Amino acid sequence: MINAETISQMKDGVTIINAARGKLIEEQALAAALQSGKVKAAALDVYSAEPPRENPLIGLSNVLHTPHLGASSLEAQRDVAVQMVEQIVDALRGDDFRNTLNMPFRVGPGFNAIRPYMDLAETIGKLQAGLADGPITQVEVQAKGEAVENLIRAIAAALLKGILHNQIEGPLNYINAPVLAEKQGIAIAQTMDIEALDYPNLISCRVKWEGGSHAVAGVLFGGSEPRIVQVDEYRLEARPEGVILVMQNKDVPGVIGQIGTILGAYDVNIGEWRMGRHQPGSEALSFINLDSAPSEAVLDALRKVNAITQVTLLSL
């Protein structure tokens, strides 16, 4: 039995691993030793009571917890080992995250069903990061619809992953994105006050920075095709992929022709062009999918058009 007395007789900084029987260790004594530094770390897959809901070891940063496996035969142990390796490979590839212990949201065998919504949320995050005019300090998330309303934590993690994709050196994933966002001073919250459009399973996100904000909403057409349906007060149905020009302009005759002429002069081909506006003669927003990235000279030429007020180049 490992208890406070036996732990006191150990060398400082030991690591304790228990994969035998839960009651071999007095868990309260081990927790105290881990917190004091007497025991450097512990790894457990068995507990005095299972599942370990009120266990003092839960939540300690220097304890590794794994599920209690009951594989007693060689065949069962082999099958478990193969499953573990397959699931690790799936997680590293980003294909599936079943049984991942430190995900910020619950992941079950139905991960592939929610993955398209997470990909959409990540794309919205990338779009928001590209449109923001300053460091983002607040992210508000809204999900409306039967398929997404219970996925707020997953959607939030994916949004943050998208927002941080060009800001973080090193690995970035669903697990560390919320932590890294917090370290960068980004607060995240669920909201219900973003104007909801009439689309099923709508994911909306509002970001704020000092002096400004943007709201972006997206849906999946046919359950698999991502579309951006709102940028601030502008409504449109745009494909968020590849090289994109997002432009704001005055809604006056000749603007579309001028833009097309400039892009054509530099051999930049337009794949799709979606536009939203308030009303005739007001302001408009263009979401243009291009077949190739325009040079800085192209962007400068577009900015010189009197009716164009803002030009942003994105790559999603």
The catalytic position among 68, 165, 235, 239 is 68
The catalytic position among 5, 21, 225, 278 is 21
User: Is 68 one of the annotated active-site residues of the chain?
Assistant: yes
User: Is 54 one of the annotated active-site residues of the chain?
Assistant: no
Contact by Cβ (8 Å): 316, 120: no
DSSP assignment letter at 222: T
Contact by Cβ (8 Å): 228, 217: yes
Query: Which residues have a Cβ under 8 Å from the Cβ of 158 and sit 6 or more positions away?
Result: 118, 119, 121, 122, 125, 174, 177
User: Is 50 one of the annotated active-site residues of the chain?
Assistant: yes
Interatomic CA distance for residues 286 and 56, integer angstroms = 56
Interatomic CA distance for residues 57 and 32, integer angstroms = 9
Interatomic CA distance for residues 157 and 126, integer angstroms = 13
Contact by Cβ (8 Å): 207, 213: yes
The catalytic position among 5, 26, 27, 50 is 50
SS (HEC) of 289-309: EECCCCCHHHHHHHHCCCCEE
* Catalytic sites, residue numbers: 21, 50, 68
